[in-house]
Structure 1
Amino acid sequence: MKKRGSVDPLYQLVEEGSGRVIVSAHEIDGFFVKSDRAKSDEILIFGSAWEPVRLGEDLSDVELRVVNSAGKAIGSYYIGRVGLRSELNGRSGQDGFAATFYGLSCPYVTAGAIWRRWASGSPIHKGEWQEYPVESHDSWLHVVQNSWFETGHAAKKYGAAEVCVIDGRTTFDASSLYCALGESINGPGGYFGSTLDGLADCLSSSYGTEPPFELVWEYHSESQKNLGASLTDSVAGILREFNVGVTLR
């Protein structure tokens, strides 16, 4: 049965069709891994079952849900088949289960730590993504995109600002650029595409719903140096295609 402790659950294994919570966990190890790392068949789930489970039998149609401190879903991953193989019984100093997701993993190694930050309930502040190492910006962008749609947002402009500004000195790779764009247009933690196609989708969904905005791209030459002219020109071109005024400085 479910145990109550001092640590709020961050994850739930949920039967997607019924919404039945099977396991609540405050930590999962082995799911968020580097894309080039060999996938482990073992996932450690530190938490407890809400009702008795039969070890060794597979669960089907399972979603891994990320929940905040209020228990509201802020992210999700469809896993499908999950096998709870054994109980930990204090292994690694914690109770829970050793499970398998049959090789399914998430190739954003810092996403678990970033989800914990997002689940805390404290507002995301401007420029917070820049406080993470550059190699974690893809994980931040992944969490932004996943949470954006899980919490009911559409791919469009929500912000009221008519002039949005990005700083080319913060755009060290493509993920950094899309983090900067999302924040400048939709505020801290905001999403506005994670690829060129995603950017076009957001612009298309926003087109005609409000006056076009202006994007001021400061230190544009720094972005070109880091990202290459092909990407920066493509981003500016897509924005202009949807009548966004782009000023390069």
Structure 2
Amino acid sequence: MSENGSVVPLYHLVEEESGTVIIVAREIGGFFVESDHAQSEDIFIFGSAREPVRLGKDLSDVELRVVNSLGSAIGSYYIGRVGLCSTFEGKGSPGQGGFVATFYGYTCPYVTAGAIWRRWASGTPLVKGEWVRYPVESHGSWLHVVQNSWFETGHAAKRYDVGEICLIDGRQILSESSFYCALGESINGPGGYFGSTLDGLADCLASSRNAPFKLMWEHFSGAQERMGASLAASAMDVLREFGVDVTLR
């Protein structure tokens, strides 16, 4: 929200090559959907055009950017072709409508990512363990936002020097996604990324060879059961392969 109570635009539809902002939107409906959801043809863009657009004519080379309260990009999705089908008006709110569009079947399979992006864009710093407050089924969406934003904002797949000893609280790990959320935060701080797959973890470690660290993993046995013994063992193997001193408690 802005100081006057209006909703700050969260999304820009941008022509990627030129960087021209075509549409600004408060919300995008029908894009963040369940992974087993049928491909959505109806995308609701709650916003307005900044450049001349024509219904029935496709926009090309479009990137959907997530922007924060200062207007800086914190995330992005390359959509490519976008069709503007019709317009709609907000009920009881003239000028608060938008466009019914199609992204030609392209959706994002992280249903709560939109709400999480809104939190990240607010301007209020993330706090340690904030992701734990979300239901376990939302941890995959949180991890998706972490990874997307990490690279969009110019970070590399590596460890930044935030301390020699990193701590994981195994009680927070309820799934595979939870593990990577906890690992990224323990190594790179709130909102930090350190892989979302074993290959991603190895990439981060390979880029961090000159920044050795120790990892202390508390309440390991319960975490191992919930995330899966195979994943826990494989993660331990990767960490130790790259010289991480892991202590289990």
- Per the alignment, residue 116 of structure 1 pairs with 118
Gaps of 5+ in 2: none
Residue among 198, 201, 209 paired with 2:200: 198
- Per the alignment, residue 158 of structure 2 pairs with 156
Q: CA deviation at 1:167?
A: 1.2
Deviation track 1:35-86 (CA, whole Å, cap 9, x = no partner) reads: 0111220000000000221110001110000000000000000000000111
Amino acid at match of 2:29: D
- Per the alignment, residue 55 of structure 2 pairs with 55
Q: How does 1:35-46 map to 2 (within 5 A)?
A: 35-46=35-46
TM-score of the aligned structures, taking structure 2 as reference length: 0.95
Instruction: State which drifts further: 84-93 or 179-188.
Output: 84-93
Amino acid at match of 1:12: H
Residue among 141, 165, 168 paired with 2:167: 165
- Per the alignment, residue 245 of structure 2 pairs with 245
- 1:89 counterpart SS class: strand
Q: Which aligned runs of 4 or more in structure 1 are off by greater than 3 angstroms? A: 91-94
Counterpart contact for 2:184–2:192, Cα < 8 Å: yes
Q: How does 1:8-87 map to 2 (within 5 A)?
A: 8-87=8-87
Residue among 130, 134, 150 paired with 1:132: 134
Amino acid at match of 1:129: W
1:98 lines up with 2:103 in the alignment: no
Counterpart contact for 2:170–2:220, Cα < 8 Å: yes
Amino acid at match of 1:17: E
Q: CA deviation at 1:91?
A: 5.8
Counterpart contact for 2:176–2:228, Cα < 8 Å: no
Q: CA deviation at 1:227?
A: 1.8
- Per the alignment, residue 6 of structure 1 pairs with 6
- 1:158 counterpart SS class: coil
- Per the alignment, residue 230 of structure 2 pairs with 230
- 1:54 counterpart SS class: coil
Q: CA deviation at 1:193?
A: 0.3
Counterpart contact for 1:11–1:27, Cα < 8 Å: yes
- Per the alignment, residue 177 of structure 2 pairs with 175
- How many residues are aligned here? 243
Deviation track 1:139-159 (CA, whole Å, cap 9, x = no partner) reads: 000000000000000000013
- Per the alignment, residue 88 of structure 2 pairs with 88
- 1:8 counterpart SS class: coil
Counterpart contact for 1:159–1:187, Cα < 8 Å: no
Amino acid at match of 1:87: T
